[in-house]
Chain A
Amino acid sequence: MTQMNQAMIEKYRSSFLKEVETNVEEGHWVKMCMQCGVCSGSCPLGPHWEHPPQEIFMMIRANKRDEVLKSSSMWFCTSCYNCIARCPRGLPITHIMHGLASYSKKLGLAPKSQPTESFGQIFWNSIASNGRVNELKIGLALQFKDGFGQGVKNAMAQKDLGMAMMKTKRMNPMEFFGGHTCKDKSGIARMLKKAQEVEDQHIANYGAGK
C-alpha cells in the first residue's frame, strides 16, 4: 500500500487535515476540536498513549502526517466511548481513532508488530473467512503469532485459563476443526471484497464525492 501512501502525499502535500477529512472515518470532525483535553483525561489507557486524542487532533492541524500515522497511539483505544460521551464539542473521537488506525494500516504506516494491530487483524481474518469469530483459533493464533517456540510458552502460561474455560463449557476444543461459521461464507467473502474495493476506490479517487 506504500504506493497509495505516495499518492496521498502528492495529493495532500500541504494539508494533512484535508486528507484526514476526506479519507478517515468521521475525519471531517477533527477541525471542530477546541483543545480542551477532556478526551485525553477521560481515556482509560490515556497515560500509555504517546499522543492522546487531543494532541493527535492538534498534530493533524499542524500537518504532522508521519508522526500521526506512524504513531502507536490510536491502537491504545479500548473503544470505551468515554471520550465521545464527554467531549463538549460532540466529536466522535472513538471512531476517528479507529479510522486513523485503520487508515494508517492501509497505507502501510502502522507500527510493526503492534500487539493490538496484530490481534485486530487476526480477529478480522476470522470473521472474513467464517462470518463469525472462532475464539479458540483466535486465541491460538494470537499465542503463536511470534513463532512456534514463543507460542508454546504463551500457551503454557494461559493453560489454566483455557482449562477453566473448557471445564465451564465456555470453550470447545473441537472448534479447532471447523467450529462456528456462517452458511453463506462465500457470499460474505464477496460482500467484504466489494466493500473493500469501494473503500479503496474512494481514497484512490481522492475522495471525490462525500
Chain B
Amino acid sequence: MAKREYSYYPGCSSQKKASADNFMRSANAMCDALDITLKEIDDWNCCGASIGYAGGGEIPRLSLSARNIALSKQQHGDADIIAPCAACWIATKEAEERVEHNPRVREGINAALAEIGLKVEPAQMPKTRHMVEMLVEDIGLDTIANGKKKGLEGLTIAGYVGCQTNRPFGIAGESFENPKYLDNMVEAVGAKAVDRYAKKVACCSGALMFSEPEKGQALVRDIIEAAYDGGADMIVTPCQLCQMNVESYQTDINKRFGTKFNIPVVYYTQLIAVAYGKSAEEAGLDGQIIKATKLEALAGK
C-alpha cells in the first residue's frame, strides 16, 4: 500500500485519557496497518464544538478553527487536515467556508489572528477532511476489504452514522437520509450490516445529553431499540460524541425507561484494526464500558 501523509489534530475528546481515548488508539492502529502517517498540528486548540456558540459569538468561535488552519498551513503546508471528530470537521470546514465567502467575517477573524501573528486567506487554506472521507476516497473500501487479515464473520452490526458526520456536509455521493458508506465499511471487514437500520442518521442529542439528560436519553433509547430490532450484536459509529452518548448512558436509560439494554458501541476504526490483525488492546477494546466480547474474541484469534 502506498504511503500517505496527512496533517491532523485529534480533537479534545480523543486526547490521551479523554473520553475517546480508545478511539485514537484504534485509529493509530488502523493507520499503522494502512500505512498512513498522521502528523499532529503542534499546539492545536479546541474547535469550539457545536455548543461553543453559547459563550463565543461567530467570530471568536470561528477564530479557533482558523488558528488550527493557519498552524497547519505553517507546519504542514498544503497537506489535507484530517479531522477524526465530526465536530472538529464541521467547525473547521465552516470556518473555511466563511473565510472564503463572507468578507466581514474574514476580516474579523484575521484581526483576531493578527494578535498571534497568523492569517488565513481565501483559496489558500489546506482542505479539511473527515477521517472517513480519507478512507472512502483515498484508500477505498475495496482496498480495505482486500487487505484485511481476517473477516469479522458472525457479527451483525448496526451502522449508526449519526448527524454530524452526515450533515450538513456529508460524504460525497452519499444521501443525507440513507448514507451507505458505514454499512459498506462493515461489509468490507466481513461483518453483516443491519439492513435498513431505522435510526441510522438520528440525533443522539449531542451536547444536550449533559444539559437535558431526560430528553437526550429518550433519543438514545430509540437508537438502541432500533439496533436490537435489526438483530444487531453491536453498534458501530464514526462519531465520538455518538459513541459516548449511546454507550455510556445505557444503565441510566435502563433505569429510566425499564429497558434491558446492554449493547456494545464501537468505532469503525476498531473494526478495521481488528480485521487487520491488531490486538484487542491495540484496537482500544479495553476502553469499552460495555465490553464488545464478540469482537474481542475475534481479535484474540
Contact = CB atoms under 8 A, between A and B. Distances in A.
Interface in A153-209: 160-161, 164-165, 168-172, 175, 180, 182-184, 187-188, 190-196, 198-199, 202, 209
A102 to B, nearest CB: 5
A160 B248 CA distance: 10
A170 B202 contact: no
Contacts of A85: 166-168, 170, 176
A85 B15 CA distance: 31
Contact of B164 (A44, A79, A170, A184): A79
A133 B64 CA distance: 13
Interface residues of B, number: 69
Contacts, number: 225
B212 A116 contact: yes
Q: In terms of DSSP, what is the predominant structure of the interface of chain A?
A: helix
B230 interface: no
Contact of B57 (A128, A170, A196): A196
B226 to A, nearest CB: 14
Nearest to A120: B54
Given A45-B205, A115-B212, A199-B60, A124 B22 contact: no
Nearest to A130: B46
B109 interface: yes
Contacts of B252: 161
Nearest to A26: B58
Interface string B95-113: 0000000011001110111
Interface stretch (B27-35, B146-154, B281-289): B281-289
B51 A120 contact: yes
Given A80-B206, A101-B53, A165-B19, A94 B112 contact: no
Contact of A195 (B12, B104, B109, B251): B109
A114 B18 CA distance: 27
Contacts of A124: 48, 52, 54-56
A70 interface: no
A170 B54 contact: no
B21 interface: yes
Contacts of B251: 160-161
Contacts of B201: 82
A21 interface: no
Interface residues of A, number: 69
Contact of A165 (B44, B104, B108, B289): B289
B115 interface: yes
Contact of B67 (A94, A106, A188, A202): A188
Interface string B101-136: 001100111011111100000000000000000000
A78 B206 contact: yes
A19 interface: no
Contacts of B90: 81
A195 B108 contact: yes
B273 interface: no
B167 A82 contact: yes
Interface of B: 12-13, 15, 17-22, 43-46, 48-60, 63-64, 67, 90, 94, 103-104, 107-109, 111-116, 163-164, 166-168, 170, 176, 201-203, 205-208, 210-212, 215, 219, 248-249, 251-252, 286-289
27 contacts: A48-B212, A48-B215, A78-B203, A78-B207, A79-B163, A81-B163, A81-B164, A81-B167, A102-B58, A103-B57, A120-B54, A120-B207, A121-B54, A124-B55, A133-B12, A164-B248, A165-B19, A168-B286, A170-B18, A170-B19, A170-B21, A187-B116, A191-B63, A191-B115, A195-B59, A195-B112, A198-B59
